[in-house]
Amino acid sequence: MRDFLLNNVSPFPAKPDANGHAAVHIAPVSAGFVIHVLGNGAPDESGLTKVLGDIAPDLGGGLRSPSPGQWFWVGDCDISQGRFAEIAGHMPAEFALSDQTHGRVRIMLSGAKVRDVLIKGTMVDLADDVFAVGASAMTMIGHIGAMITRTDVECFEIMVLRSFAESLWHELDQMAAEFNQPHGI
Amino acid sequence: MTSFRMDGGTLIDRDDVREFSFNGEKLRGFGGDTVASALLANGRQLVGRSFKYHRPRGILTAGAAEPNALLTIGRDGRRDPNTRATMAELFDGLEARSQNCWPNVDFDIGAMNGLLGPLLGAGFYYKTFMWPAAFWEKVYEPLIRKAAGLGRASYDPDPGYYEKCWAHCDVLVIGSGPAGLAAALTAGRAGARVIIADEGAQLGGGMLAEGSMIGGKPADAVLADMVGELHAMPNVEIKKRTTVFGAYDDQVFAAVERVQKHLAETAINPNRAMERLWRIVAKQVILATGAEERPIVFGGNDRPGVMTAGAMRTYLNAFGVAPGKRVALFANNNQAYQTALDLEASGIEVAAIIDPRKCPDIDYDGKARLIAGAMVRDTAGRKVIKSIAVRHDDGRDEVIAVDALAVSGGYSPIVHLACHRGAKPVWSDEHVGFLPPENCDGMVPAGAVAGNAGIASCFVAGAKAAVSVLGVLGLTGEPASLPGLEQVDDIAQGTVAIWSVPPSKGKAFVDYQNDVTAGDINLAMREGYDHVELAKRYTTNGMATDQGKTSNVNAIGILAQNKGVSPGEIGTTTFRPFYTPVSFGALVGASKGFEFQPVRKSPLHGWAARNGAKFVETGLWYRSSWFPKDGETFWRDSVDREVRNVRENVGICDVSTLGKIEIFGADAAEFLNRVYCNAFLKLPVGKARYGIMLREDGLVYDDGTTSCLAENHYFMTTTTALAAGVLTHLEFCAQVLWPELDVRLASATDQWAQMAVAGPKARDVLAKIIDDDISNEAFPFLAAREVSMFGGRLTGRLFRISFSGELAYEIAVPAGYGESVADAIMVAGKEFDIAPYGTEALGVMRIEKGHVTHAEINGTVTPADLGMGRMVSVTKDDFIGRVMNRREGLLDPMRPALVGIKPKSPEDKFATGSHILKVGDEVSLANDQGYVTSMCYSPSLGHAIGLALVKGGPERYGEEVVIWNGLAGTSITGILCNPAFVDPENEKLHA
């Protein structure tokens, strides 16, 4: 068989100046995994955490819940299709896995003005005492559905369907553009 | 500077000289000026012409209620018509023009309308111009529209950027006058998250025009201290130049912020919004919007130089502008006397104070002559006021020469936001105005809007309101200690209602913006339009951009006076957003041009683009429609070639946009069996099946294939259009209808890049990249399973299904690898003459094969109508749509059913939507037999073909019919036939 080249193509536009914001940094996440975990009963996040820790202790990652009994298991290391199948095969019946690594992609927004950018898109209250580090929520960024997770004081992860990724990138780029001053504002 | 610019002015910066133009004339003002204050400072009292009579108009107010001084500001795409000069901040290079005048504001031909005044009263267009009838649309209406009106919108695109934002707070304080500031300080000191919003360029509201001392300190110093403390609080967000214009359910308030509208073009940051629309979610709200000073309705009350007393005080104290050199005051309340005092303190002669009260209870110690029990009946002057005619208590008339007149008819609390959610304001005889409704549902009025008067009184009211909302929030706070509280003493306004003065020769205007006079209101009453809502619409009082801020209460008062009832019995018209005009730019936000709506791109978009695809918008998706080659100049050239190539060789098509749903769970099979009308319970692992979903009413909802990939794991495809709808439907079924079933659903549309490889050589191509055996025996029609690809480097999902009617497969791979796999298929297929094909060719081939889409699944058809009646299970216990599908009407054999249709003469063409008639019948929808749902040119057959829903359907194969295009006025003869034009025996599918 011919040795065909297989590239994992990013859905984000390669626009170098998009990373040039002084007060807001926008960066797509090219590595990692997103696995949709579907529970069959009452939400049991602690139980799921234990199961995942037992089956794949090396992968780490975190859980974001889009709805009762469902989670996105998100991590930064790459896993193969074979490894996913292996993990899925070991999951107890109460949890089903759907690999969404290619279907849901992530963008990290960080910087001093990150909340000033995000309030242009989301109605989620991002105040420190309301949306603390680790919190996540399904929301809209403009007209695009997305999941927003606070990963640090001035850092947010936005997870979006792949087909909307380029459009969301443009929106975020535009929303952040007013901070494109050499020293921020 | 001019003689009208005086010393003082707390808002202006005299070191910041700004040049601007007014109707082409170069003028100067200062930083901090509004256009109105700068015009007045330059002695320009005449600024515009009125709506109907083209009367000379000046500046009436100093704020948002301005009905007269509406200017067009800016040029080209940045041109803003109907801008209130009183709200527009002056910037260097500003260009302002008067509206509704020709050739210029000083000499306006339209002023001749004033001579026709007797013919142009309220509702004149209902009574005149009745004959001849044809003239109304062609002559009268265009003439009236040309003669009347406001500014003209620009046809150039606005180069500015606009955006929308969300904000959240514990306490939203609307208005930053003394009550608002006290409330914000009290709430802020208690630690609440506070947003204080004000439409002005500076916080302070009425305090900005206050020239007196507060607690021994100058008012501006007190204000600076308060604002400074608010700025220092991290939990307080200050929004200046922000008008809260709407109150909505769930404590959401809409506001528009003028971010850069006040800047010169050279200072505008193109990446920053010109205006920003805020959606503010507030737990509690303090309404500190103040009160609007009312004009008084008397003859010639619209003449330039007539101004509300409060506005005159603002121009004097805040902008250092003298309204005139010899001024009179006409007021029915005590508060307005402060204007006379301030004018005198500035050295301006106050010729007289005319007070309709016979014995005003006020301790006025100024120099002006006080004429009690008198009224101003009329004014004189051509384009500015020259004198006033005063009617004394004893009936004597006196003319007093003045060049400005301050007017105060009392105060109307600005209750709009308290009423946007449906509540009605309440009339107060004591305050001679409408106060906010008693229960404002999470909104506490404070200050002038609640009837408080005097700065100290408003301080107390604002602080008290804040303490009350803090209690609701579970916070504790003390009323802010502020200077001057020892002066607290609700000042008795002593206002007496003066709705109109005795008639005079001059027109007495109620609504300046719409040229509605007291006579118009009276006429409306005489003609039966005495309900406040009817009177508004008959006279246009309270319409247009100012929404009657200065006119509504006076109109209500006149109605009440004439009917002999209280204004409370008349009531108000309905308050609705927006409080003040909001630009379309702010409402649209960033959603224009490329950002008009989100774009969804297939994971194969880049591959398709590299292969020259022409894209078409399908909902939000961009789908590759066809792939032109060199020399193909017409889309059909490409589509016909693509179809022929698939039929003869092999093609590849992006079908990634089809909806894909992963279904898991021990009861997944039972679940599918219930949502599809055909059997799914025993679908074996490794097999796909075509399924039809019905709605509860028994009609077809959607179709697609579902494959069993493993025990308790299925993969469903839906149409592109209904991907989200089907998932929602399934979730409803799983969560609401059958919660006892173990079934779990995940959208996987974006996870997979999916491509159809179709044509007699499809297997040969795929065999070059797929490791598994995909021979007909090993992978027959409707097989579906995971396959190893590229020597085990990738796992894909292979489905042997066909929409084109050819030997075909759909291969799905993780989306990121989609382009590489498509490239590999192109390379592997080169020796087999592979070519990409788009959705147009796909559409042609499905019509040739007689496959349906939502052109046929149009919400009115049953499976039987589509020739798939036998798929509807008669053995299953239940499924969605089972009962209703058996309704008598849906079983009628004469229902429109799917047929193929072709022209009798191959060279004839017909259009989708054409109706089918029996040969010989009169051409009329009364004889309608059905219609063409889909049509295309078939490269395989060499003539047009179509699908149609026709009464009797398959029973009429072979019948000649008339295909009637009523829009084009054409008819051809057609023949009804089997819809499977190509391979009716399905031999290709199983090859």
Is there a single domain that holds both residue A84 and residue A112? no
Is there a single domain that holds both residue A92 and residue A79? yes
Q: Quick check: is B390 in a domain?
A: yes
Final residue of a structural domain among B551, B570, B589? B570
How far apart (Å, rounded) are the C-alpha atoms in residues B825 and B651?
10
Q: Quick check: is B575 in a domain?
A: no
**Minimal CA–CA distance to B292: which of B62, B601, B110?**
B62
Range of the domain at A91: 33-99
Is there a single domain that holds both residue B743 and residue B757? no
Q: What is the pLDDT of residues B689-719, one digit of tens each?
A: 999 999 999 999 999 999 999 999 999 999 8
Q: Quick check: is A2 in a domain?
A: no
- Subunit contact A101:B794, Cβ cutoff 8 A: no
Using CB atoms and an 8 Å cut-off, which of residues 655-674 of chain B contact chain A? 662, 664-666
Is there a single domain that holds both residue B216 and residue B279? yes
Tell me, yes or no, if B795 comes closer than 8 A to chain A by beta carbon.
yes
Q: Quick check: is B867 in a domain?
A: no
pTM of the predicted protein model? 0.92
Residues forming beta bridges with residue B214, ordered by sequence position:
B217
Final residue of a structural domain among A51, A71, A99? A99
Average pLDDT of chain B is: 95
Q: Quick check: is A133 in a domain?
A: yes
- Subunit contact B271:A162, Cβ cutoff 8 A: no
For chain A, how far is it from start to end, CA to CA, in angstroms?
57
Is there a single domain that holds both residue A154 and residue A173? yes
Q: How confident is the model at residue B674 (pLDDT cuts 50, 70, 90)?
A: very high
Is there a single domain that holds both residue A149 and residue A174? yes
Q: Quick check: is B860 in a domain?
A: no
Is there a single domain that holds both residue B653 and residue B743? no
How far apart (Å, rounded) are the C-alpha atoms in residues B864 and B316?
83
Is there a single domain that holds both residue A26 and residue A65? no
Is there a single domain that holds both residue B112 and residue B195? no
> A119: distance to nearest CA of chain B, Å?
5
A104: nearest CB among B164, B601, B750: B750
A163: nearest CB among B602, B666, B819: B602
Range of the domain at B907: 893-991
Please state the domain count of chain A: 2
Q: What is the pLDDT of residues A33-59, one digit of tens each?
A: 999 999 987 778 999 999 999 999 999
Q: Quick check: is A160 in a domain?
A: yes
User: Is residue A184 over pLDDT 50?
Assistant: no
Q: Quick check: is A5 in a domain?
A: no
Per-residue CA distances from B55 to B500, B523, B830, B939 (Å) = 20, 21, 80, 71
B272: nearest CB among A100, A127, A178: A178
Is there a single domain that holds both residue B43 and residue B91? yes
Tracing tokens 């509704």 back to the chain, one arrives at B100
**Which element (helix H / strand E) includes B378?**
strand B375-380
pLDDT at position B284, please? 98
User: Residue A144: closest CA among chain B residues belongs to which residue?
Assistant: B598
- Give the dihedral of Cα atoms B103, B108, B110, B116; nearest 10 deg: -160
pLDDT at position B1, please? 46
Q: What is the pLDDT of residues B778-798, one digit of tens each?
A: 999 999 999 999 999 999 999
Q: How confident is the model at residue B489 (pLDDT cuts 50, 70, 90)?
A: low
Strands A70-75 and A62-67: antiparallel
> B28: distance to nearest CA of chain A, Å?
31
Tell which of A2, A98, A179 to mutate to test the B interface (max B CBs under 10 Å): A98
How far apart (Å, rounded) are the C-alpha atoms in residues B851 and B843?
9
User: Is residue A18 over pLDDT 70?
Assistant: no
How far apart (Å, rounded) are the C-alpha atoms in residues B626 and B629?
10
A100: nearest CB among B269, B606, B751: B751
Tell which of A6, A78, A113, A161 to mutate to test the B interface (max B CBs under 10 Å): A6
Q: What is the pLDDT of residues B561-610, one digit of tens each?
A: 999 999 999 999 999 999 999 999 999 999 988 888 999 999 999 999 99
Is there a single domain that holds both residue B345 and residue B465? no
Q: What is the CATH number of the domain that holds B628?
A: 3.30.1360.120
**Minimal CA–CA distance to B300: which of B382, B227, B235?**
B382
Tell me, yes or no, if B234 comes closer than 8 A to chain A by beta carbon.
no
Q: What is the CATH number of the domain that holds A145?
A: 3.30.1360.120
Is there a single domain that holds both residue A113 and residue A88? no
Q: Quick check: is B855 in a domain?
A: no
Structure tokens at B73: 């500001």
pLDDT at position B691, please? 97
User: Is residue A19 over pLDDT 60?
Assistant: no
> Are B675 and B725 contacting, i.e. CB atoms less than 8 angstroms apart?
no
Q: How many Cβ atoms from other residues are within 10 Å of residue B622's Cβ?
A: 20
- Subunit contact A93:B666, Cβ cutoff 8 A: yes
Is there a single domain that holds both residue B71 and residue B131? yes
B818 contacts on A by Cβ (under 8 Å): 9
Is there a single domain that holds both residue A171 and residue A148? yes
Using CB atoms and an 8 Å cut-off, which of residues 293-312 of chain B contact chain A? none
Please state the domain count of chain B: 7
Q: How confident is the model at residue B120 (pLDDT cuts 50, 70, 90)?
A: confident
A1: nearest CB among B790, B814, B819: B790
Using CB atoms and an 8 Å cut-off, which of residues 697-736 of chain B contact chain A? 713
A123 contacts on B by Cβ (under 8 Å): 166, 279, 281
Strands B404-408 and B306-308: parallel
User: Is residue B488 over pLDDT 70?
Assistant: no
Is there a single domain that holds both residue B980 and residue B898? yes
Final residue of a structural domain among A99, A114, A141? A99
Tell me, yes or no, if B539 comes closer than 8 A to chain A by beta carbon.
no
Query: Is-cis flag, bond preceding B103, omega within 30?
Result: yes
User: Residue A9: closest CA among chain B residues belongs to which residue?
Assistant: B816
Q: Quick check: is A56 in a domain?
A: yes
Is there a single domain that holds both residue B777 and residue B903? no
User: Is residue B549 over pLDDT 50?
Assistant: yes
> Are B261 and B242 contacting, i.e. CB atoms less than 8 angstroms apart?
no
Q: What is the CATH number of the domain that holds B356?
A: 3.50.50.60
What was the ipTM of the complex prediction? 0.96
- Subunit contact B769:A130, Cβ cutoff 8 A: no
B711 contacts on A by Cβ (under 8 Å): none
- Subunit contact B828:A38, Cβ cutoff 8 A: no
Tell me, yes or no, if B790 comes closer than 8 A to chain A by beta carbon.
yes
How far apart (Å, rounded) are the C-alpha atoms in residues B261 and B201?
11
Q: Quick check: is B883 in a domain?
A: no
Is there a single domain that holds both residue B15 and residue B131? yes
Is there a single domain that holds both residue B334 and residue B305? yes
- Average of pLDDT values for B608-617? 97
Q: Quick check: is B255 in a domain?
A: yes
User: Residue B796: closest CA among chain A residues belongs to which residue?
Assistant: A81
User: Is residue A20 over pLDDT 60?
Assistant: no
Tell me, yes or no, if B816 comes closer than 8 A to chain A by beta carbon.
yes
Tracing tokens 């209130």 back to the chain, one arrives at B84
B606: nearest CB among A9, A144, A168: A9
Q: What is the CATH number of the domain that holds A53?
A: 3.30.70
Is there a single domain that holds both residue A81 and residue A108? no
Q: What is the CATH number of the domain that holds B697?
A: 3.30.70.1400
Ramachandran angles phi, psi of B988, nearest 5°: -65, -40
Using CB atoms and an 8 Å cut-off, which of residues 59-118 of chain B contact chain A? none
> Are B382 and B304 contacting, i.e. CB atoms less than 8 angstroms apart?
no
- Subunit contact B746:A98, Cβ cutoff 8 A: yes
Is there a single domain that holds both residue A69 and residue A123? no
Tell which of A102, A128, A167 to mutate to test the B interface (max B CBs under 10 Å): A102
- pLDDT-above-90 percentage for chain A: 81
Ramachandran angles phi, psi of B84, nearest 5°: -75, 120
Q: What is the pLDDT of residues B172-216, one digit of tens each?
A: 999 999 999 999 999 999 999 999 999 999 999 999 998 788 888
Q: Quick check: is B885 in a domain?
A: no
pLDDT at position B989, please? 94
A177: nearest CB among B166, B271, B815: B271
Q: Quick check: is A16 in a domain?
A: no
Is there a single domain that holds both residue B736 and residue B664? yes
Q: Quick check: is A185 in a domain?
A: no
Using CB atoms and an 8 Å cut-off, which of residues 146-165 of chain B contact chain A? 161, 163-165
Q: What is the pLDDT of residues B48-68, one digit of tens each?
A: 999 889 999 999 999 999 999
Q: What is the CATH number of the domain that holds B932?
A: 2.40.30.110
Final residue of a structural domain among A99, A120, A154? A99
Per-residue CA distances from B95 to B20, B48, B83, B159 (Å) = 6, 15, 12, 17
How far apart (Å, rounded) are the C-alpha atoms in residues A178 and B497?
52
- Subunit contact A120:B165, Cβ cutoff 8 A: yes
> Are B45 and B2 contacting, i.e. CB atoms less than 8 angstroms apart?
no
B795 contacts on A by Cβ (under 8 Å): 81-82
pLDDT at position A185, please? 40
Q: What is the pLDDT of residues B403-442, one digit of tens each?
A: 999 999 999 999 999 999 999 999 999 999 999 998 888 9
Q: What is the pLDDT of residues B121-137, one digit of tens each?
A: 888 877 777 778 888 88
Is there a single domain that holds both residue A71 and residue A110? no
Three state DSSP letters for B889-940: HHHCCCCEEEEEEEECCCCCCCCCCCEEEECCCCCCHHHCCEEEEEEEEECC
A99: nearest CB among B599, B747, B751: B751
Q: Quick check: is A41 in a domain?
A: yes
Ramachandran angles phi, psi of B72, nearest 5°: -95, 120
